[in-house]
């Protein structure tokens, strides 16, 4: 559960960085309600045989917990490369893969290595609200370029922003959070081309946290890796894999880029327990991912239903949908919560975001929204 922060720092007692004074920790509400549709989790818990295998792997790891874990987790990186080969058809070597405690930590490693004082990280808003926090925490300047009204990214706008700000890192979420928008390969290629012209170099991170939910025909940026040494593609086991509690994110890039991340990571950052859980889960990838198809179908049906109610809905390649527009979105959010449905008040004014849940969750959401919004 979240706790409030005492932001009244007694003068001179705690030398808090001035730029952190008065700030609250990031976090969506964690509430105990029947329908949790606010943080884009997979609503399906692992099946009992998967749980048993994970528990056995943890027991084996526990027997060696007097020792530090494998710092470079070669076995896990090989398993992740194997998973990406099957999921995206892209061949990767172990030294092209990195992992950390969630893709949040992956992104922090990227900014620790390639950002820093006097440098800039560029992204395009509206986008994932943690990006400016990674920038703040690594003393990297934060610049948010703009997306179009339909939340797509105009390649010319992106090129111009890169030329103007000469960032050392560009963060592109695709599918984007909170809008669900996936970027076509042509846009990513335009960004890569502009980034290659930045004096001193520029790393482009395509954040594919929701990549497995993309619609048929939408490519993964992984396919662009062989020709672009300044590209990194980040993924997570938190979403499609249904393993948010395990905290495992990973990244694919050229070996030189991965080597730079190895310099800034804390020693033994990925615990032996985490490595064991991730490897056991990867052995069950098909079972853990079994619901991805039905979640995609449920998402597409939700978009059709919301549009059928006369609402505005952003196209989504993710496991959530951004919809609106409401004069008082907080009242809608609260009305849903009062009916046991927790969604997220996020994105531009007037919009709300709902994660795709089980069919039961979706019925509860639709009923509650119909009542609250008078549909």
Binding site for ligand PLP (CB under 6 A): 40, 102-104, 128, 173, 177, 207, 209, 236, 238, 244, 249
Q: Which is nearer to ligand PLP, 170 or 198 (CB)?
A: 170
Q: Which is nearer to ligand PLP, 96 or 319 (CB)?
A: 319
Burial (CB count within 10 angstroms: exposed 0-12, middle 13-18, buried 19+), residue 176? buried
Are 103 and 209 spatial neighbours (Cβ–Cβ below 8 Å)? yes
Q: Which is nearer to ligand PLP, 28 or 47 (CB)?
A: 28
Give the number of other CB atoms < 10 A from CB of residue 20: 11
- Strand ranges of the sheet holding 97-100, from the earlier edge strand across to the other edge: 97-100, 249-253, 231-236, 203-207, 169-173, 120-125, 141-146
State in angstroms the smallest separation of the CB of 238 from ligand PLP: 3
State in angstroms the smallest separation of the CB of 367 from ligand PLP: 26
Give the number of other CB atoms < 10 A from CB of residue 45: 10
Residue with tokens 């979403």: 239
State in angstroms the smallest separation of the CB of 19 from ligand PLP: 23
State in angstroms the smallest separation of the CB of 207 from ligand PLP: 5
Q: Which is nearer to ligand PLP, 44 or 305 (CB)?
A: 44
Q: Which is nearer to ligand PLP, 27 or 199 (CB)?
A: 27
State in angstroms the smallest separation of the CB of 327 from ligand PLP: 27
Task: Report the SS3 class of residue 235.
Answer: strand
- Strand ranges of the sheet holding 352-355, from the earlier edge strand across to the other edge: 312-313, 320-324, 352-355
State in angstroms the smallest separation of the CB of 119 from ligand PLP: 21
Q: Which is nearer to ligand PLP, 244 or 373 (CB)?
A: 244
Q: Which is nearer to ligand PLP, 161 or 173 (CB)?
A: 173
State in angstroms the smallest separation of the CB of 131 from ligand PLP: 9
Task: Report the SS3 class of residue 194.
Answer: helix
State in angstroms the smallest separation of the CB of 40 from ligand PLP: 5
Q: Which is nearer to ligand PLP, 282 or 372 (CB)?
A: 282
Q: Which is nearer to ligand PLP, 103 or 152 (CB)?
A: 103
State in angstroms the smallest separation of the CB of 356 from ligand PLP: 14
| Closest among 274, 213, 258 to 87, alpha carbons compared | 213
357 Cβ contact partners less than 8 Å away, ≥ 6 residues apart: 35, 36, 37, 43, 298, 365
The count of C-alpha atoms lying within 13 angstroms of the C-alpha of 364, restricted to the half-sphere facing its C-beta, is 22
Residue 197 preceded by cis peptide, ω within 30: no
Q: Judging by DSSP bridges, how do beta strands 120-125 and 141-146 pair with one another?
A: parallel
* Residue nearest ligand PLP by beta-carbon distance: 102
Q: Which is nearer to ligand PLP, 81 or 209 (CB)?
A: 209
Vertex 165 angle, CA 164 and 170, to 5°:
120
Give the number of other CB atoms < 10 A from CB of residue 102: 19
Task: Name the DSSP letter for residue 325.
Answer: -
State in angstroms the smallest separation of the CB of 67 from ligand PLP: 27
Task: Report the SS3 class of residue 154.
Answer: coil
Give the number of other CB atoms < 10 A from CB of residue 48: 8
Token pair of 21 as six digits: 């004074």
């Amino acid at each position: 559960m979240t706790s409030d922060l005492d932001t009244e720092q007694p003068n001179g007692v705690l030398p808090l960085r001035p730029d952190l004074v008065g700030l609250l920790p990031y976090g969506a509400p964690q509430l105990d309600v029947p329908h949790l549709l606010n943080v884009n989790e997979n609503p399906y818990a692992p099946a009992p045989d998967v749980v048993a295998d994970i528990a056995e792997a943890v027991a084996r790891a526990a027997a060696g917990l007097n020792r530090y874990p494998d710092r470079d987790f070669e076995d896990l990186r090989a398993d992740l490369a194997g998973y990406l080969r099957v999921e995206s058809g892209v061949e990767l070597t172990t030294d092209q893969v990195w992992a950390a405690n969630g893709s949040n930590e992956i992104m922090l490693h990227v900014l620790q290595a390639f950002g820093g004082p006097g440098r800039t990280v560029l992204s395009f808003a509206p986008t994932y609200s943690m990006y400016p926090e990674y920038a703040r925490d690594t003393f990297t300047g934060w610049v948010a370029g703009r997306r179009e009204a339909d939340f797509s990214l105009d390649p010319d706008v992106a090129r111009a922003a890169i030329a103007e700000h000469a960032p050392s890192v560009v963060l592109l979420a695709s599918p984007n959070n909170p809008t669900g928008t996936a970027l076509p390969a042509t846009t990513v290629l335009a960004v890569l081309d502009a980034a290659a012209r930045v004096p001193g170099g520029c790393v482009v991170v395509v954040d594919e946290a929701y990549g497995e939910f993309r619609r048929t025909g939408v490519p993964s940026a992984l396919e662009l890796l062989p020709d672009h040494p300044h590209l990194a593609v980040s993924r997570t086991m938190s979403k499609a894999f249904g393993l948010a509690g395990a905290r495992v994110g990973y990244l694919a890039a050229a070996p030189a880029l991965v080597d730079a991340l190895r310099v800034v990571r804390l020693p033994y950052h990925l615990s032996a327990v985490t490595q064991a859980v991730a490897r056991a889960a990867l052995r069950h990838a098909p079972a853990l991912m079994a619901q991805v198809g039905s979640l995609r179908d449920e998402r597409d049906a939700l978009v059709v239903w919301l549009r059928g109610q006369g609402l505005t809905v952003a196209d989504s390649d993710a496991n959530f949908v951004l919809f609106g527009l409401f004069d008082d979105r907080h009242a809608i959010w609260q009305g849903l919560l009062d009916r046991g449905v927790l969604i997220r008040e996020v994105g531009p004014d007037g919009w709300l975001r709902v994660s795709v849940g089980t069919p039961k969750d979706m019925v509860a959401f639709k009923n509650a929204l119909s009542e609250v919004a008078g549909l």
